[in-house]
Amino acid sequence: MLNTGYKRVKLKSLAPCLEDYVLSFSLVRHHRIDTTDCDGRRQVQHGRLKMQALRSQLKGLRESSPKKGASSSREVAVNARMSSEVILSLRAAAVADTPFHALAYNRPWIRSELIERDAALAIGADVQLSDKEKLVNNILMRRKFREVDEGIERPEDFMYSHHYFTYKDKIKDSKVYEIIRAMPKGALLHVHDMAILGADYLLNITYMDHLYVCFYDSKVQLVFSDGRPTTLCSTRWQLMSDARRAASSVSKFDDDLRKNFSIVIDDPQEVYTDINKVWRVFMQVFSTIAPMLSYRPVWEQYFYDALKAIRDDNIMYVEVRSVLPRLYELDGTEHDELITAKAYRKVTKKFMTDYPDFLGARLIYAPGRHVNRSTVSQYIDMARRIKSDMPEFFAGFDLVGQEDLGAPLLDFLSELEGARGELNYFFHAGETPWWRAPADDDLVDAILLGARRLGHGYSLSKRPILMEEVQRRGIGLEVAVLSNSVLGLLNDPRNHPLSGWIARGLPVVLAGDDPGLWGAPPLSHDFQVVFMAVSARTHDLRLMKRLALNSIQYSAMDTRQKDNFTMAALGVRDVGDRRRPRSCGGLAKSLTMLNFKAVVIRIYLFSYAWSLLLMHDIRDHKEITSALAAFLSRNRISDEEEVEHRNIPTSSN
């Protein structure tokens, strides 16, 4: 180690830019160099001349070296002398008076060093890409640069700067999205059960038998029953089939009905002029669909299809938040929350049997926060019952609802503190534009209560000490950029605080939140918007890969399950096969391809998809897209297909 008097720097015997290496750490810290003092100027100039001579000598030695990369004793000696001269120069510069920039712009490497050190903090900076991934990354970045640079030249045409409703149907046309959509995304850790599937799916449910409808004040009530419902209706209950048959236009009837299942409108910025207005519509959708979805057979089919949509979006594991509605039968029989939780587990097991490559689902019990302390105590008792009955399926506890208008965590501190050692907490916190309002202070209480993850955390950027605590404790941040945009926290995703969190390397995972209510897939659109509008222009595949890996790391899976997931990601065919790639050096560096597979079944979702991109002429993107779609539709290949595909010659381009 070399001691410059200011920093201790490891000596690399053949570092050609040792001077740069040392100065970049020492001068950046001290910011000044003395050039007003004559002796100081002479010493610094003398040191520079010596350094130039030593560099020339070292260059000559390398050029005459018999072996490429070989180091001679003379080279080592010259490097040592260079080190010594650097130290002398630095000590001469210690009494600085001249501004640092006077030196910095005569030394371009200092500018580069600052940029590189800044970039090294970001999410994904530690990720290593394989040779194939680097080729794919080149394709991805060419496409990203093209779209982003066009936006820089013509800001009005950069679609991500507008409201999501105006461009959500255009995302599919993006060349970048072709890759993002096919990319495995790891785990989905923040999504609400009734908002996974969209309005079209919900409209199809209204064609089922025994569904009754009540129309009132431009709203609807929907419930399944074997006879006319006895619940209150300000007008009258009628069978949906009769109401549809009586309509003058079935198409218009369905269009009008469909509007009750989504918050998507043509002019959101004129209608949703503040957070409370959009939240009122948002909560009304849940009020409309909850009774319809709570019919037990519908609920079970809905959740099965939701898992299918999640898997189709190349997500292999999910932790779903649920208020656990009381499911009912046609005759009106009602079940408690524990039965609903068991229905979740039953459907998950069936789905995993049908799709062995899917790695599972777990439940976060997340009832509403607009209640009193007594009700929260009942919630916690129910959470304990569920955990006792199905500890392997129950992930933890949360409280949900609009935070600005709901009760803060502080109101329930004694109840939540009492269950802290028993339940994992995944609290919504900081989903607010306000600073030091109760919803913002929820961040403090969530952290002190030992939350393993924070939902949204939007206001965290205003709390530097809390950011440090989140990073120090490894508390996952479930960030839902589209949700924050749609629900009124910001207009332009480029201004989302996630940009700063990515830059600082905070423990971030991406979340879908309520994608069905704004017509998005579970996670792909969030990945797309983050990659194109939130991340830096230069952030690449490494960011996407690290975000997917974070979703595994910060999940509620136990160590064994995470290990199985990791083995799947590493391509190990069987749990008993513990072989690791030769290049393993930690999770981030050992993943040579982010190809999430089932632990037992041989699935090549990622590496094979990337191979299609690499082995075909990349200019023919239609052929690639077609091949990818064909592969992803079946999600597996035989050994013969694999061998046959590997024999396809790689394009010279």
Other C-beta atoms closer than 10 Å to the C-beta of 297 total 12
What is the b/e burial string over 118-135, where b = at least 16 CB atoms within 10 angstroms of the residue's CB?
eeeebbbbebbbbebbeb
- Joined tokens for residue 354: 């049908």
How far is 39 from 62, CA to CA, in rounded Å?
34
**Alpha-carbon dihedral 87, 93, 94, 100, rounded to 10 degrees:** -120
How far is 23 from 539, CA to CA, in rounded Å?
27
431 is annotated as an active-site residue: yes
486 in the Ramachandran plot: left (φ > 0), alpha (ψ -120 to 50) or beta? Answer: alpha
Beta bridge partners of 222: 213
How far is 218 from 429, CA to CA, in rounded Å?
33
**By CB neighbour count within 10 A (0-12 exposed, 13-18 middle, 19+ buried), where does 456 fall?**
buried
Selected catalytic residue, list 85, 133, 431, 478: 431
403 is annotated as an active-site residue: no
Beta strands in 146-206 (DSSP E): 187-192
What does residue 215 show for φ and ψ, rounded to 5 degrees? -95, 130
Contact in structure between 537 and 148 (CB atoms under 8 Å): yes
Contact in structure between 180 and 528 (CB atoms under 8 Å): yes
How far is 352 from 601, CA to CA, in rounded Å?
12
- Joined tokens for residue 570: 């590493």
Contact in structure between 189 and 511 (CB atoms under 8 Å): yes
Q: Spell out the long-range contacts of 264-273 with Cβ–Cβ below 8 A and sequence spacing 24 or more.
A: 264/165, 264/168, 264/199, 264/517, 264/518, 264/519, 265/165, 266/165, 268/163, 268/165, 268/486, 269/163, 269/491, 272/488
317-322/361-365 β-pairing: parallel
The amino acid occupying position 193 is D
Q: Cα dist. 379→192, 294, 337, 374 in Å?
A: 17, 19, 10, 9
Q: Comparing C-alpha atoms, which of 417, 443, 416 is closest to residue 429? A: 443
- Joined tokens for residue 532: 């194109």
Other C-beta atoms closer than 10 Å to the C-beta of 340 total 22
The single residue listed with the structure tokens 């690791």 is 580
The amino acid occupying position 279 is W
The amino acid occupying position 440 is D
Other C-beta atoms closer than 10 Å to the C-beta of 42 total 11
How far is 130 from 593, CA to CA, in rounded Å?
7
The single residue listed with the structure tokens 């074997």 is 226
How far is 309 from 523, CA to CA, in rounded Å?
10
How far is 325 from 343, CA to CA, in rounded Å?
11
Contact in structure between 565 and 552 (CB atoms under 8 Å): yes
R_g of the chain computed on alpha carbons = 29
211-216/219-224 β-pairing: antiparallel
Q: Cα dist. 163→119, 223, 431 in Å?
A: 29, 34, 19
Selected catalytic residue, list 428, 456, 525, 539: 456
Give catalytic residue positions.
431, 456
